[in-house]
Amino acid sequence: MSEVLPRAGQTTPMSQPSQPPLSQLKKGCCHLCLPPKGSSSPHTLTGPTSQDSPLPPRDPDKIEDELEMTTVCHRPEGLEQLEAQTNFTKRELQVLYRGFKNECPSGVVNEETFKQIYAQFFPHGDASMYAHYLFNAFDTAQNGSVKFEDFVMALSILLRGTVHEKLRWTFNLYDINKDGYINKEEMMDIVKAIYDMMGKYTYPVLKEDAPRQHVEVFFQKMDKNKDGVVTLDEFIESCQEDDNIMRSLQLFENVM
C-alpha cells in the first residue's frame, strides 16, 4: 500500500486530510447557521389595538430583517457530562464552547456553512463532496445540523482518541450508507472526493486514473476474505499493518 501513497506532506486517501484548526473551522459560522423554522418576530407590538385605532401596516422588509435576526438557539449538554464523554478538561470545553457560541449564536452549523468553511482550506480544488461526507460523519443524528456536542465529540476522537477510536471514526466516514461495511463504490466515492479536494496542483502530478488505482490497491489489501466488502475488523487490522496510515493518525495528537 505504501508504494502508492503520496510523498510526505501530501494527503493520503485512506487517512484524514488535516482538519482545519478549530479557530478557522468556527470562523464565519454565525451568518450561515440554521435559519429559524416557524419563528415569529421577537418584538411585542405596543400602542393602541382597538378597532377604532388600528395599527399601521408594518414594512415587509423590516419584518423579514427581524425574522433573519431570530435564531434557533441550542443549549448544549452540561460541561460535566461532556467532560466525562470526551478527552477534554472542563476548562478546555469552556474555551471551545465560548468560541463556538461567539461565532455561531444558534449553536448549530448546517452543511452549507460547513462546505464554505472547508473550501477555504483547499482553494485549488473542489472540497464540496468531501465536506459533504465529513459533515455526515459529524452529524451523528443525521438531522442536517452539527451541534456543539457533535463537533466536540468528533474533535475529541480525532485529536486525543485511541488508535481504535480514530480508525472506527474513519471507517464510519467511508461507510457512506451506514450498513456496517465498506464496499468498493463507497471507497471510490471518498477517495475521488479527496482527489477533487486536492485539485490539480499536486506534486508529483497525479494521473487521471490515480483514484481508481489507489482504491484497487487499498481494497485488495483490506478485503481479506475476498467477499467484496470490508468489515470494521478488516479495516482496523489493515490500517494497523500500514506504517504510513499509522503515522498519519499520530499527526492529530499534536494539534492541541
116-147, pLDDT tens digit by residue?
Answer: 888 888 888 999 999 999 999 999 999 999 99
81-107 residue pLDDT tens: 999 999 999 999 999 898 778 767 788
d(CA 253, CA 19): 12
For the segment 210-223, the average pLDDT, to the nearest whole number, is 91
Of the candidates 74, 78, 68, the one whose C-alpha atom is nearest the C-alpha of residue 109 is: 74
Residue 65: strand, helix, or coil: helix
Mean pLDDT, the chain, integer:
74
On whether the pTM is more than 0.75, the answer is no
User: Residue 85 has which C-alpha cell?
Assistant: 464523554
- Per the DSSP assignment, residues forming a β-bridge with 147 are 108
pLDDT at residue 113 in the model: 87
pLDDT at residue 54 in the model: 46
Residue 178: strand, helix, or coil: coil
Residue pair 33/110 in contact (Cβ under 8 Å)? The answer is: yes
pLDDT at residue 216 in the model: 94
pLDDT at residue 244 in the model: 81
